[in-house]
Amino acid sequence: MTKLAAILDQIDSGSVLLPEFQRGYVWNRDQVRGLMRSLYRGYPVGGLLTWETQADGSLIRGAALASSALRVLILDGQQRITSLYGIARGRPPAFFQGDEKAFSGLRFNVEDETFEFYAPAKMRDDPRWIDVTSLFTDGLQRHIAALSSHPETQPNFAVYMERLARLRSVLDKDFHEDKITGEDRTVDEVVDIFNRVNSGGTKLSKGDLALAKQCAHWPEARAAMRAHLDRWEKEGYSFSLDWLLRNTTAVATGRAEFSYLDNVPVTGFQKSLESSARYISQFLDITSGRLGLDHNRVLMGRYAFPVICRLLHQSGGQFADFTETDRVLYWYIHSALWGRFAGSTESVLNQDYDTAGRLGIGGLISSLERWRGGNLTIDGQDFEGFGQGSRFYPLLYLLIRVQGTQDFGSGLPLHSHLLGHLTSLQIHHIFPKAVLYEAGYGRSQVNAVANFCFLTQETNLKIGKRRPEDYFSEVEDRHPGALASQWIPPDRSLWQIDHYSDFLAARRQLLAEAANDFLGRLRAGNVPPARPVKRQAVVVDEIEDLDARTEQVMALVTELTELGCADPAIDCEVPDPATGEVLAVAEACWPEGLQPGQGDPVLLELDPEEADLARLKELGYEVFTSIDSLRGYVRRRNQEAAGP
């Protein structure tokens, strides 16, 4: 048994730390309140599992001691001990990674013995709300003076003091501690034990384990990888550690499985990381400059990147010429459009690594054709998706950026570097959403990709909510060819709201023809190396009013993040990992659970008739088909964590 105060002191001294393979802090405020309530009431809160080791600091997160010092690494109990340290010390521990707001500002009410986080309007002038951190860091004296001098608290002063003393005594709480000891314990063994005891908590991924092993030989590995991820984040792209490690593994080993990194020496891993990061940046420049895919939302086919890194590595870091580059882009786009890596990622990557090594980009294209049954032609029906989560939304954006598409207001090509006020690009609903909803169309039809075009912000402001029948003629008169450049059907009868479905069908066909033409020229290598496409900001729905349901979803997301949930993917396409088939385009999706690494993936799908709910549940998703049901679930879960 070890007292909490002693554990906190050991964290201060640097002798109690975290193993590098652990994920960060993910608890929310209700879980913290529940922990403090249980401790205060003397309820059991679980024991600790630790690993006692003299290994050097390479496997350890936080402050390091001399290499010969004995360290105690927390395997089970990180969330509890981190929360208690943060409350008792008023700061996070050295090994902390997460959001410290989860334990900052906790208050205790000496009247009703409840714990809540600071709310100024409720607590500012009420001395009965005690700052818990101040109680631990400053002692009782300050609070004795405050409570004894207030008329409302004087009658119960002795009771309040007893309660504060009881709260402060949680530092004397004994924690049962199970220790893993022995110099012969390997990281693999300890990680296996960690996963077993954390069956209800955070499991380690294969990437977590592989990175832990690399950190054993190169302590700065994780920091070096995060530096690359932070740099891409500043450029507008968001990637994960697992994804970067996958690219690095491709370069280092030519295999998809992380286990192959076991045989790579530290110098080889370092060189492979730097090479893969260089290849990724190089290809991001290509996709931005040649395709206009210049921000995170439109960057398709992320798991094609390891194959491209492998191609670049085996060709000395450069594609041979513009023709080879364009053929790589052709393969990349098609692999993304048809969900090449939506299924068994490692086996598919291994197939493509092997093909790339033997036959290069020509072999990859032929292999993709065989996988697709010989058909890489886009049909108008392929543009039937809706929302920015649709797999074909990035293709629409790509086409307007590379095909000389003109703005309806100025007539300028949207690939030009537009300067001045109100010149960012915006998504524009050709048929206004409010008009379509009023006419009885559903969400998927209103937000169909074929109802999207892109305009400058200034033009979008001027058009507002006008119907196409009202402004298309003006556009054609002022800027002949502008409508055709945005693939607007020339048949004016289709510009009427009554013919909206026919308009969508006609525009889908025009988009498919334009896509096939561009992709065909990429494959032939005869797309001229035009001036690079300039990056431009894309603002979504800033002018048009959000429909009521979208407003409700966004309000829910804001509410859930305030309750401690992770930021979800919005308007998210969910593919079947076995077939690549789209199972849903969900309003919101939490693929790692509402809190990272805790619980099953969660999905909000408000059009259940358009989703394969049975398959989603079979794959382990918790599917909610109403905003209220998800809100209620999160609130009940948090209430259970906080206690009655």
pLDDT tens, residue by residue, 537-560: 555 544 445 567 778 888 999 999
Q: Is residue 197 part of a domain?
A: no
pLDDT at 539: 54
Does 293 share its domain with 407?
no
CA distance 22 to 206: 12
Does 474 share its domain with 585?
no
Q: Is residue 568 part of a domain?
A: yes
Does 143 share its domain with 252?
no
Which residues does 296 contact at the CB level (< 8 Å), separation at least 6?
A: 236, 237, 238
pLDDT at 530: 52
CA distance 566 to 558: 10
Does 164 share its domain with 288?
no
Question: Hey, what are 644's tokens?
Answer: 């009655």
- Domains in the chain: how many in total? 4
Q: Is residue 188 part of a domain?
A: no
Q: At 419, is the pLDDT very low, low, confident or very high (cuts 50, 70, 90)?
A: very low
Q: Is residue 189 part of a domain?
A: no
Q: Is residue 196 part of a domain?
A: no
Closest by CA to 597, choosing from 209, 92, 27, is 27
- Block residue for tokens 């700052």: 131
CA atoms within 13 A on the CB side of 147: 24
Q: Is residue 193 part of a domain?
A: no
pLDDT at 467: 92
CA distance 422 to 317: 40
Question: Hey, what are 309's tokens?
Answer: 């890194």
CA distance 211 to 349: 20
For 232-280, how does the pLDDT look when each residue is reduced to its tens digit (9 = 90+)? 999 989 998 889 999 999 999 999 998 899 889 999 999 999 999 999 9
Does 158 share its domain with 89?
yes
pLDDT at 179: 80
Does 565 share its domain with 516?
no
For 501-531, how does the pLDDT look when each residue is reduced to its tens digit (9 = 90+)? 999 999 999 999 999 999 999 999 877 665 5
CA atoms within 13 A on the CB side of 514: 24
> Mean per-residue pLDDT for 38-50?
88
- Residue 448 gets which letter from DSSP? B
For 166-225, how does the pLDDT look when each residue is reduced to its tens digit (9 = 90+)? 999 999 998 888 888 776 666 667 666 766 666 555 555 677 777 777 776 787 888 899
Does 409 share its domain with 500?
yes
Does 132 share its domain with 59?
yes
Count of beta carbons in the 10 Å neighbourhood of residue 350 = 16
Does 175 share its domain with 210?
no
pLDDT at 108: 94
**Domain ends where: 519, 539, 559?**
539
pLDDT at 591: 84
pLDDT at 424: 72
Does residue 368 surpass a pLDDT of 80?
yes
Count of beta carbons in the 10 Å neighbourhood of residue 404 = 14
Does 553 share its domain with 416?
no
For 78-89, how does the pLDDT look when each residue is reduced to its tens digit (9 = 90+)? 889 999 999 999
pLDDT at 387: 78
Does 169 share its domain with 234?
no
Write the single-letter amino acid at 528: P
Q: Is residue 191 part of a domain?
A: no
Does 82 share its domain with 60?
yes
Does residue 58 surpass a pLDDT of 60?
no
Does residue 423 surpass a pLDDT of 60?
no
**Is the CB of residue 501 less than 8 Å from the CB of residue 373?**
no
Q: What single string gives the DSSP state of each residue in 384-422?
A: G-BSTTSTTHHHHHHHHHHTT-B-TTT--BTTS---STT
Q: Is residue 603 part of a domain?
A: yes
pLDDT at 534: 58
Does residue 30 surpass a pLDDT of 90?
yes
Structural domain including 357 reads 205-371
